[in-house]
Each structure stands twice: as structure tokens, then as C-alpha cells.
Amino acid sequence: MSDNKDHIVNLRVTSDTYEKLKKGALANSESVSNFIRKAIEGSIGLVADISEEILSLGSGDLSGIESYHPARAAKKMACARCGGNIVRGATMMVGETSGSRKYMLCEECGKKLEG
Ligand SMILES: [Zn+2]
């Protein structure tokens, strides 16, 4: 059900963010609310794409990954798929999507990429 009425959204931002918004609005000769509206409209598809990609990876779906290579972890991190620990020095797999986003995968999850 979609209507064409506009809606008012209130949001709280830090003083720092507000100053950046004010600067951006001034540089583009816009009101702060017009500047925010255009920024949201311009990025909402992108944010949705990224969220979808992250959620699908979290659910174990690796189909967004187009290439991968083994690597050694330079620091402790969490596997992008299962959330398990990847310790410093461990062998891991780095998967890359078409958007060149990289996902660090533990050895077990990396094996799923191979077959
Ligand atoms: Zn994993």
C-alpha cells in the first residue's frame, strides 16, 4: 500500500555530524533538510545493496563472492560468515565480490568456497 504523501522523519545527530551537514548544505546552496533528503535518496539503494550482501553472507550464502585467495591473518578478527575467531597468523580465505568488497573467512568457511 503506497501513498504519495510526504512523511516527516526526526533524527538525532551529533554536533560534529550537524556541522558537516551544515557545511555540505552551504557548499551546495541547499537547506540542511534538502541536503539530507538528497543524500538519503542518493545512497539508499547503495545501503540496501550492502546490507543485503552482508546479510546473505551472514546466513552462509557465499554466492556474492566472485574470487578468493588464501591469506594469512595479520591480526585477530572475526570470520565474516560464521563470526568465529581468526587468530593472528592463521591461514584464512579472502573472498571478493564484484563490488570489490573483501570478506575475511576462517579456514572452515574458506573451504566452502572451494567446493
Ligand atoms: Zn567462518
Give the start-to-end residue ranges of the domains of the chain. 15-57, 62-114
Q: Residue 109: name the closest of 88, 79, 65 by CA.
A: 79
What is the whole-number distance in angstroms between the Cα of residue 92 and the centre of ligand 1? 9
Mean pLDDT by 10 residues, the chain (115 residues): 78 92 92 90 74 69 86 95 94 87 90 82
What is the whole-number distance in angstroms between the Cα of residue 79 and the centre of ligand 1? 5
CA dihedral 63, 69, 75, 81 (to 10 degrees): 20
- Would you state the cell numbers that stand for residue 26, as one nine-digit string? 552551504
pLDDT score for 39: 85
Q: Tell how many helices (H) and how many strands (E) occur in the chain.
A: 3, 5
Phi and psi of 83, rounded to 5°? 80, 0
pLDDT score for 105: 93
What is the whole-number distance in angstroms between the Cα of residue 45 and the centre of ligand 1? 28
What is the whole-number distance in angstroms between the Cα of residue 109 and the centre of ligand 1? 4
Burial of 16 (0-12, 13-18, 19+ CB in 10 A): exposed
What is the whole-number distance in angstroms between the Cα of residue 62 and the centre of ligand 1? 11
What is the whole-number distance in angstroms between the Cα of residue 52 and the centre of ligand 1? 18
pLDDT score for 46: 72
pLDDT score for 2: 58
pLDDT score for 55: 66
pLDDT score for 1: 52
pLDDT score for 74: 97
C-alpha to C-alpha distance for 69 and 33, rounded to whole angstroms = 45
Please enumerate in sequence order all residues whose Cβ is within 8 A of that of 22, keeping only pairs 6 or more positions apart, or say none. Answer: 32
Please enumerate in sequence order all residues whose Cβ is within 8 A of that of 109, keeping only pairs 6 or more positions apart, or say none. Answer: 62, 79, 80, 81, 82, 84, 93
What is the whole-number distance in angstroms between the Cα of residue 18 and the centre of ligand 1? 38
